[in-house]
Amino acid sequence: MSPTPRALLAPALTLALTAGAAPAAEPPPPGERYTKNVAIVLYDGVEVLDFAGPAEVFAAAAGYGARAQEPAFDVYTVGRTRAPLVSQGFLDIVPDYSIEDSPRPDIVVLPGGGADRVRRDPVWMRWIEEVGRDADQILTVCTGAFIAGQAGFLEGTEATTWYGAIARLTREFPETVVHTGRRFVDNGKVVTTAGVSAGIDGSLHLVARLLGRYVADRTAEYMEYKWSPESYQSSRYTQLNPRLDARGRALQQGSIAAHEGDLAAATAIFRSLAEADAGDAEAWLQLGRTLHAQRRHAEAIPAYLEAAKAEPQRGDALFSLACAYALAGQRSEALAAAELAVAAGFRARYFWENDEDLAAIRDDPRFQALVAAL
């Protein structure tokens, strides 16, 4: 059983703290969409790491901060059109959307580089003003701050930018207090960051605000990024995800215990949730994973069977079930579960070919045919 899909699909395990005067995230009202749209603005000359750093953070945090199987973020790129563009003079990119057909973003990321190309285009700027006004957050990286400033989002605020553009930002936007030597500055809705790699810090900060410190830490761990928030900031982040209800926070606490190696505590939490609601498929799935990690396969199998009764985690539960059956020496059951998992949508060929838990059935012609058809 590979830990990777479980880590990325596991429920969020955190509580987010606000930074500075920024308000804490609130649990979404019943029925409100949990997933936030993150639009990464792209244009000719955009700096690679300016957009790729935040994209990596939000894409990884989407899984670590998920509620059940709902990702925390849907990350996509937006260009002036869908025509290919060139980043930093060498990287060809095709945006996912144009400003004509882009979904409405909850978070807008404005990277730097050739930001003046955007500022000189009135159509581009009109779109940024409109979506920025309705968005929950705006994150700028490097000279992306100039785009936000021209759109009116920096007036009366504090901000920062790439060190080589501090004087220019100060000169162009006298109503903005511009800071030097800061990785990022948080005004609540607008978070501006310094140059290039600082966009990663600002993005992790925003993740911690929205989803809690634990999700941000797991994201940084996955990226192998040395994230060291200032003490005055880290003390204000919540640990658990504030967008979750009591059940969601209990699931998160169980996942935290499992990540820390306290599998007995994690098992107790997940078992308690499953016993309280026999239809709680996510609790059954996490219970199965925790028992699986303890090599208690005979107990993990019925937990996975319960989890597989419900969507959307059916495919993942059946993949785990196939792993558990294979480790328990039940080859025919493992093969049947594998076929059901693929039919349910678990088609990530890498895990079928490389998960060590499936070693006992990998030489079976049925399994080989299954993988070959992916």
Domain assignment present for residue 4? The answer is no
Task: State the pLDDT at residue 7.
Answer: 36
C-alpha to C-alpha distance for 32 and 45, rounded to whole angstroms:
37
Looking at residue 169, its amino acid is L
pLDDT at 9 over 50: no
Q: Is 219 in contact with 243 (CB distance < 8 Å)?
A: no
C-alpha to C-alpha distance for 293 and 138, rounded to whole angstroms:
40
Q: What pLDDT band is residue 11 in, cutting at 50, 70 and 90?
A: very low
Per residue in 96-112, pLDDT (tens digit) is 999 999 999 999 999 99
Task: State the pLDDT at residue 342.
Answer: 97
Domain assignment present for residue 239? The answer is no
Residues 119 and 215 in one domain: yes
Q: Domain ends where: 234, 262, 281?
A: 234
By the 10 Å C-beta count (0-12 exposed, 13-18 middle, 19+ buried), 279 is classed as exposed
Mean pLDDT of 219-226: 98
Token pair recorded at residue 281: 């498929």
* CB proximity list for 115: less than 8 A, separation 6 or greater: 43, 142, 143, 144, 146, 147
Residues 350 and 219 in one domain: no
Per residue in 173-198, pLDDT (tens digit) is 999 999 999 999 999 999 999 999 99
Tokens 């060590």 map to which residue? 356
Q: Which helix (H) or strand (E) holds 107?
A: strand 107-110
Domain assignment present for residue 9? The answer is no
Could you give phi then psi for residue 79, rounded to 5 degrees?
A: -110, 170
Task: Give the residue numbers spanning the domain of 275.
Answer: 246-372
pLDDT at 26 over 70: no
C-alpha to C-alpha distance for 222 and 349, rounded to whole angstroms:
21
pLDDT at 237 over 90: yes
Task: State the pLDDT at residue 3.
Answer: 39
Alpha helices in 113-197 (DSSP H): 115-119, 122-134, 144-150, 166-172
Per residue in 311-351, pLDDT (tens digit) is 989 999 999 999 999 999 999 999 999 999 999 999 999 99
Domain assignment present for residue 10? The answer is no
**How many C-beta atoms lie closer than 10 Å to residue 34's C-beta?**
16
Task: State the pLDDT at residue 21.
Answer: 34
Q: What pLDDT band is residue 69 in, cutting at 50, 70 and 90?
A: confident
Per residue in 132-172, pLDDT (tens digit) is 999 999 999 999 999 999 999 999 999 999 999 999 999 99
Per residue in 254-304, pLDDT (tens digit) is 999 999 999 999 999 999 999 999 999 999 999 999 999 999 999 999 999
Residues 112 and 168 in one domain: yes
Alpha helices in the chain (DSSP H): 3-9, 48-64, 115-119, 122-134, 144-150, 166-172, 198-211, 213-223, 231-234, 246-259, 263-276, 281-293, 297-307, 314-327, 331-343, 349-354, 365-372
Token pair recorded at residue 260: 């820390």
Residues belonging to the chain: 374
Task: State the pLDDT at residue 1.
Answer: 59
Average pLDDT value over all residues in the chain: 92
pLDDT at 20 over 70: no
Residues 220 and 265 in one domain: no
Mean pLDDT of 242-246: 95
What would the DSSP string read from start to end of 175-230?
TSEE-SS-SEEE-SSEEEE-STTHHHHHHHHHHHHHH-HHHHHHHHHHHT------
Q: Is 22 in contact with 186 (CB distance < 8 Å)?
A: yes
Mean pLDDT of 204-215: 97
The residue among 227 and 7 whose pLDDT is bigger is 227
Residues 201 and 269 in one domain: no
Cis before 71? omega within 30: no
In this structure, of 27-31, 61-65, 306-310, 352-356, the range with the lowest mean pLDDT score is 27-31
Q: Domain ends where: 187, 210, 234?
A: 234
C-alpha to C-alpha distance for 3 and 17, rounded to whole angstroms:
27
Residues 41 and 173 in one domain: yes
pLDDT at 221 over 50: yes
Task: State the pLDDT at residue 215.
Answer: 98
Q: pTM here? A: 0.88
Cis before 312? omega within 30: yes
C-alpha to C-alpha distance for 166 and 373, rounded to whole angstroms:
55
Task: State the pLDDT at residue 168.
Answer: 98
Tell me, what CATH number does 163's domain have? 3.40.50.880
pLDDT at 2 over 70: no
Q: Say how many domains are in the chain.
A: 2
Task: State the pLDDT at residue 31.
Answer: 63
Looking at residue 204, its amino acid is L
Mean pLDDT of 214-218: 97
Q: What pLDDT band is residue 10 in, cutting at 50, 70 and 90?
A: very low
The percentage of residues in the chain with a pLDDT greater than 90, rounded to a whole number, is: 88
Q: Domain ends where: 234, 269, 285?
A: 234
Tokens 């989002």 map to which residue? 153
